[in-house]
A and B are shown apart, each in its own frame.
Chain A
Amino acid sequence: MGHRRRRRRLVATLAVTGLMFGTAACGSGSGSAGSSDPNTLEVWTRSNPDDAATYERVFAAFTKKTGIRIDYQPIINFDQQLQSRASTKDLPDVMINDTALMGSYQSQGLLKPIDPDGIAGHDQIDAKTWASTVGIDGKHYGIPYSRQAMTLMVRKDWREKLGLPQPKTWQDMLTLAKAFATRDPDGDGKKDTYGMVVPGSAQNGYAAWWGASYLWQGGARIVERTSDGGYKPVMDSPAAVRTVTWLKDNLFCGDNGVIQPGALTAITGTATNFQDGNAGMYLTGPYNMTTFDQTIGKDKYEVLPAPAGPAGNEVLADGENVYFGARTGKTEQEQALGAFLVSPEGQRLAMTGGEHQPVVRIPVNTTLDAAKVRNDPRWGVVQKAYENDSVVFPNAPDFAPVKQDTADALNALFTYCGSDVRSGLKELNDTLAGDLKDQDLLK
């Protein structure tokens, strides 16, 4: 009896599992809902409803001009939705998303190569910007759309009160940070101010995103292109060791208050000390200016180029590209949209959101001046930093693993003040070599 019952149970289990897998197999591969109308483009952006309102204005202008309709979908969980559409082999025609995703998308076959010559007005985008959309095989896989570079936001009122100059070097910056922390710049008699804000968590690679500018300024790189088209990790270089040691000794393990408390677990969303008015400096992207204008006031802070390290004052740049989905067969319409998006008109519309968020920060179109379009000279500082002193993460490989591993290692080195930077970075370099090897890029 017991035996029979057990066998029956087994059969039932098998039947249920079989059913599960059977239906799972049938469930996929069907249900594409693509628009077959050649005169309608399906466009995705990774946007909140507020950004989406700006995009809608841009697309409406495009439709008015060309008669090509846009089926626009702002999407928050962009990559999840993209993967699920990819498995039905039916991709959106045009996507606007981070520059950093290009390598990953290209390696998954999601993108169609782009011929810059086919985009009207392509010569209004400079060579440096176009170079950032070259894939691993030498073809372009994106049209540059929006760019930004990091600048240093400084509490001008505090700095002037303490009688200190604008920081031009790392040492100036450190001196200013210490003064902000110890000399009571807000005048409330309490020791509750900090030198600078650092989003130092490894989560989503923030530590690497923040640290990259300092690495560039110290003369270091994370990976380097080799002459035969591959990449090699260079985080064990003397410059990298020197830079990370400086950051560790002076910011994380130096005097209290140089950086905000809780920096090791802070991401940009939680590192709000600058806007809360208790930290004096923040090396960050220009999109934050809207917030700072509201919370601390436009006249209370200044936007400066990053202070120079031993090798200069280069900063990290990033932004968004326009991508064309693979195998969609509407190249002409897509090119028309691409041309409009980078045209002075399209860029201008996207830079002035009206009541909504602008979606283009620094225009890729060189005929436009961000400071003039926005009527705000501070944007000139950002544009200059982008044009003259910025370096992007390599976008041709899938850079996300490299960035994440770098962030993990930096966060660990900054956490343990007794750690050995040289051996820590050596270990990181080996990990990065593994990441590149996974993509067959290690040379």
Chain B
Amino acid sequence: MTAPAIDPIRTPVPTTVDKATQERRTTPARFDTALGWNDRPGVSWALRILLCAIALGIFAAPFLTIVSGAFTTHASGSSLSFLPHDSTLQNFKVAGERGIWDYFTNSLVIAGGALLLQLAVSVLAAYALARHRFRGQALILTLFMLTMMLPEEVIAIPLSLVLGHVPVVGVDLKGTAWGVILPLGAWGFSVMLLTEFMKDIPTEIEEAARLDGVGEFRMLWQVVLPLCKPALGVAGVLGFVMIWDQYLLPLIAAKDPTDYTVTVALSILRTDPEVGSGVVLAGAVIALVPSLIVYLLLQRSLVAGIAAGATKG
């Protein structure tokens, strides 16, 4: 889509930008994408459909076996089938009896809280790192990346001690959602990601706003953030996946089995001799739905081009 010349300072609400751009599709679609795909029937169109089918076959088709196993009474662990032999909801019922929905609720609370915290923390840090210049900048960014470098198994025991007795304040976070949420607050990846994308925003917009006397927080909220929506989308999706996938941390922070998350529950189901692989697969299907929904919801911001063209250059 072409970028209409909208000054993001005067129209700071990002959604209107998107709507406007979508409605005003005047130029041909082949300028929309890097490869110039054409959306009218033709050779390029047919080629793209073929390639999409191959991509789907490789990345998505294997999941049919997971779904079909989840709906089969005695799913086999050693052979594949794309269609359930005998369609049943029994596996979901058994998974429910094993309390998967309670764990699911725990996961939702933790994932919601942790994602909000993580995004807020990352946006603030990235804004400082990308839009301000100060001493020790490179060091700070390296420190944030350092948080991702030591395997969590190695820090598990010390972290368990910290959670049981947070230094200085002396609170016991075990058995609370905070015990999982707070350690997930600082994630090097989303800080790095947002920093890189924020650096790429031209300074002119900001300088103009500064001349208008816009304060720092408003600047971040109304000027910078709308311009890095795709990066925020990525940080949101991948952050959610990362939080949802946590296994060791919820175990460390738990005081009681009722504190477990759905990812922990899934691994419990796998070792439970009373439930078959069908129940595990049902659990897996339940567990992957929220991440998919988050991805679907944030898709728009992931690919919706911003009005960068108007200001860049």
Contact = CB atoms under 8 A, between A and B. Distances in A.
Contacts of A52: 257
Contacts of A270: 77
Contacts of A23: 167
Contacts of A28: 158, 161
B264 A76 contact: yes
A77 B272 contact: no
Interface stretch (B117-125, B237-245, B248-256): B248-256
Contacts of B273: 287-288, 290-291, 357
A9 interface: yes
B157 A50 contact: no
A278 B255 CA distance: 42
Nearest to A81: B160
Interface string A3-15: 0010011001100
| A8, A31, A88, A270: residue with the most chain B Cβ atoms closer than 10 Å | A31
Contact of A50 (B165, B264, B274): B274
Interface in A268-293: 269-270, 272-273, 275-278, 287-288, 290-291
Contacts of A272: 76-78, 277
B135 A27 contact: no
B249 to A, nearest CB: 11
Contact of B256 (A9, A26, A30, A73): A73
A294 B274 contact: yes
Contacts of A31: 161, 164-165, 170, 172
A26 B274 contact: no
Interface residues of B, number: 38
B274 A357 contact: yes
B199 interface: no
B156 interface: yes
A87 interface: yes
A72 to B, nearest CB: 10
A275 B99 CA distance: 25
A256 to B, nearest CB: 16
A12 B138 CA distance: 12
Contact of A49 (B167, B172, B257): B257
B264 to A, nearest CB: 7
B160 A84 contact: yes
A295 B276 contact: yes
A340 B125 CA distance: 57
Interface string B182-193: 000000000000
A295 B167 CA distance: 51
Interface in B130-145: 135-136, 139, 143
A11 B234 CA distance: 36
A288 B275 CA distance: 11
A290 B275 CA distance: 9
Contacts of A9: 135-136, 139
A84 B160 CA distance: 7
Nearest to A72: B256
A16 interface: yes
A84 B248 CA distance: 14
Contacts of B160: 80-81, 84
Contacts of B260: 49
Contacts of B248: 77
Contact of A276 (B78, B172, B251): B78
B274 A290 contact: yes
A273 B76 CA distance: 8
Contacts of B79: 276, 278
Given A49-B268, A269-B270, A291-B276, A24 B252 contact: no
Contacts of A27: 158, 161-162, 165, 167
Contacts of A12: 135-136, 139
Contacts of B167: 23, 26-27
Contact of B271 (A16, A26, A77, A269): A269
A33 interface: yes
A204 B19 CA distance: 56
Nearest to A268: B271
Given A50-B272, A294-B276, A80 B257 contact: no
B156 A50 contact: no
Contacts of A87: 157, 161
A294 B75 CA distance: 12
A49 B266 CA distance: 12
A77 B251 contact: yes
B139 A80 contact: no
Interface in A21-54: 23-24, 26-28, 30-31, 33, 48-50, 52
| B135, B160, B170: residue with the most chain A Cβ atoms closer than 10 Å | B160
Nearest to A266: B78
A74 interface: yes
A30 B79 CA distance: 52
Contacts of B172: 31, 33
Interface string A238-274: 0000000000000000000000100000000110110
Interface string B73-105: 010111100000000000000000011000000
Interface string A325-349: 0000000000000000000000000
Contacts of B158: 24, 27-28, 84
A423 interface: no
| B79, B99, B172, B270: residue with the most chain A Cβ atoms closer than 10 Å | B79
| B74, B157, B252, B264: residue with the most chain A Cβ atoms closer than 10 Å | B157
Interface string A372-389: 000000000000000000
A-B CB proximity, top 3 nearest = A31-B165, A272-B77, A84-B160
6 contacts: A30-B165, A31-B161, A50-B272, A77-B156, A77-B252, A276-B79
Given A5-B135, A31-B164, A83-B157, 19 more contacts: A12-B139, A26-B167, A27-B165, A31-B161, A31-B172, A49-B268, A50-B98, A73-B255, A77-B248, A80-B157, A80-B160, A88-B161, A269-B270, A269-B271, A272-B76, A273-B78, A290-B274, A294-B276, A357-B272
